[in-house]
Structure 1
Amino acid sequence: MSYQKNAEAQGVIFAPYAPGYLNLCIRSGNQLITSGHVSDLKGKLGADLSVEEGYKAARNCVEKILNSVWNTHGTLDGLRVIKVLGCVNSTLEFTDQHLVINGASDLLHVIFGKDGNGYHARSALGFAQLPTGAAVEVEAIFEVMS
């Protein structure tokens, strides 16, 4: 099965969108670099949100990223996930940012293969606040293999 089909089987929705204020995904050479995509979920991990809710929010971010990649590249096929940066809106005491961002990585592993083109470098960081009060923001870099 193709990466595109894998994503569709995971419920990722692909729809065209009109360009906005910023480019959500840009190609530079053989790389696709995405802007940060924020979760629909608002709130702060360690205060009003659980790790499980944050995990789902990180997955939501990657679903949006994949749609932006699709809008730029036309398919997910022939891509390799290189780097993921996960930003978690969290309290000073919250230290499970890595568990939250697993929601992003796990979806990429399912779609692109954990031992293959989905095996990526990653950072998971805590932030005092994110734009619009989003719980999570994720950005990613993909390599165009073909």
Structure 2
Amino acid sequence: MAASWRENLERLGLELPPVAAPAGAYIPALRSGALVYTSGQLPFVGGELTATGKVGAEVSLDQGREAAKYCALNALAAVGSVVDLDEVVRIVKVVGFVASAPGFNDQPLVINGASELLGEVFGAAGVHARSAVGVFELPRNTPVEVELIAEVR
């Protein structure tokens, strides 16, 4: 039998954080039918951003990947606020935004931090379609923001 998402998080030395409070007029996640859509999640750990600035300038590629991992973890917490994560059938889509310094074009490598975490947590059900987009600025000067769509039972 495959390990549960809880066992996989524990093996990775991670735990599901509390859901981040919205910074505007929106909710962290919304279920519509068999899909849960998350709002964009920032790389908060213990209420603090893991990094600030643009990837390719103040933030290294590795720091950006790590930030993307925490964005995905926060997105899972958002999904878990509307449905038990045991009900996740698969991660359908991930969209990642990378605040990028001029000339930085490795956004897919940054968002791999989120994609790899989802694969580690859910196995084959964590493999998803994805977009990785470079942007000039993100809220709170964060280097990465990630949203996802999960199919649930």
**With structure 1 as the length reference, what TM-score do the two structures score?**
0.89
Aligned structure 1 segments of 4 or more residues deviating by more than 4 angstroms: 15-21
Unaligned runs of 5+ in 2: 44-48
Structure 1 runs not aligned, ≥5 long: none
Q: Could you tell me how far 1:140 is from its partner in structure 2?
A: 0.2
Report deviation, 1:18. Answer: 8.7
What is the one-letter code of the residue matched to 1:130? L
Q: How far apart in 2 are the matches of 1:37 and 1:51?
A: 19
Offset of 1:119 from its aligned partner? 1.3
Counterpart of 2:4 (choices 2, 5, 11) is: 2
Q: CA separation in 2, counterparts of 1:92 and 1:19? A: 31
Matches within 5 A, 1:1-146: 1-14=3-16, 17=19, 20=22, 21-39=25-43, 40=49, 41-113=51-123, 116-144=124-152, 146=153
Q: Residues 36 and 91 from structure 1, CA distance in 2 versus in 1: closer, same or farther, beyond 3 angstroms?
A: same
Change (3 A) 1:19 1:58: closer
Give the SS at the match of 1:126.
strand
The code of the aligned residue for 1:51 comes to: L
TM-score normalised by length of structure 2: 0.85
Tell me: CA distance 1:18–1:92, structure 2 relative to 1, closer, same or farther (3 Å).
Answer: closer
